[in-house]
Amino acid sequence: MATYSLANERLRALEDIEREIGAILQNAGTVILELSKEKTNERLLDRQAVAFTASVQHVEAELSAQIRYLTQVATGQPHEGSSYSSRKDCQMALKRVDYARLKLSDVARTCEQMLEN
Amino acid sequence: MAQKRVLPQSKETLLQSYHKRLKDDIKSMMDNFTKIIKTAKIEDETQVSRATQGKQDNYEMHVRASNIVRAGESLMKLVSDLKQFLILNDFPLVKAIDQHNQQLRALQEECDRKLTALRDQVSIDLYQLEEAYYSSSSSLREANNLSLCEAYWRLDLDTDAADGLAAPLRASLEPSAGPLQSAAPAHSHASGPGPTEHA
């Protein structure tokens, strides 16, 4: 299960990189917008430009690390296993448990009403 | 020091292409961004008129901004491809799938086992509850409003033992024959005008 969470962490890291790419484009847009004004706010301009450069370098480093990791651990053939069926069966079992709990609570409520009457 | 793994040619080529795409996109972003910043500088001496130079700079900035956006989109596609490659070819993840399957199956079997035990326990308690309920309130209810099991038991006591199973069947049929008989004339009444209307 630890390896499963490790793989999920890598996927989360890739999702963070995606968000950072969006932030990079937003920074670039802010810088160009600021340049188009007659009176530019230099501090904001510098800050956004530095953020843009730092984000680009960070994205490059992260993606290079991911590609390096994949070079080390990639298998020869893509796998064909799936945990979908067992996950579905487990979900159905949990739904059965919830349903049984619901019905038992109904019976308990009925018994309490009978006792009150 | 990690030994260099020997991957199939296609996989290695694919990973190298990912690396190349990453370098190209990052380079494109940085170059276009710095060129936009440089182009924003207003120069006093120009070879063409100011208006023309302004138009040219405007067009150049549009093109470079589009290049930055294209590079960003290409990076997003690269990340998507990396995710897919990771899911399909990450060896520890592939190993973990079997373990995950076993854990889920174990959890499902435990749930079903506990539900079965619960069912047995509840059926015993329910039997006692039913006896208590029907014996306490059966005197308040009308004879024709009895539960099926109560009607069955009463008939079983009243009728001769030689009749066997026929008596409960007859008893179950008689109450149901009433509603059916009342429904049948209604149906005939309903169907009566039908053919005449069609005719």
Q: Cite the DSSP H helix spans in chain A.
A: 2-36, 42-73, 84-116
Pick the residue with more confidence: A81 or B30?
A: B30
CA nearest to A59 within chain B = B26
* Annotation: CATH topology of A1-78: Methane Monooxygenase Hydroxylase; Chain G, domain 1 (1.20.58)
Pick the residue with more confidence: B145 or A39?
A: A39
Q: Which residue has the tokens 């793994």?
A: B5
Residue A52 in this model has a pLDDT that exceeds 80 = yes
Collapsing DSSP to helix, strand or coil, B66 comes out as: helix
CB B115 within 8 A of CB A100: yes
Q: Which pLDDT score is estimated for B26?
A: 95
Return mean pLDDT, chain A: 87
Residue B79 in this model has a pLDDT that exceeds 50 = yes
Provide the shortest C-alpha distance from residue B175 to chain A (in Å): 29
**B129 vs A contacts (CB less than 8 Å):** 107, 111
Which of B77, B96, B134 lies closest to A21 in space, CA to CA?
B77
Instruction: Please give the structure tokens belonging to residue A20.
Output: 């950072």
Return mean pLDDT, chain B: 74
When pLDDT is cut at 50, 70 and 90, the band that residue B179 belongs to is very low
pLDDT tens-digit readout, B159-170: 655 455 444 444
When pLDDT is cut at 50, 70 and 90, the band that residue B184 belongs to is very low
| Longest Cα–Cα distance in chain B | 123
CB contacts under 8 A, B 91-130 vs A, are 91-101, 103-105, 107-108, 111-112, 114-115, 118, 122, 126, 129
Pick the residue with more confidence: B89 or B121?
A: B121
The C-alpha atoms of residue B49 and residue A6 are separated, in whole angstroms, by: 61
Which of A27, A54, A45 lies closest to B40 in space, CA to CA?
A45
Residue B78 in this model has a pLDDT that exceeds 90 = yes
Q: Which pLDDT score is estimated for A40?
A: 82
Q: Residue B3 forms beta bridges with which residues?
A: none
Residue B64 in this model has a pLDDT that exceeds 70 = yes
CB–CB contact A56 B26 (8 Å)? yes
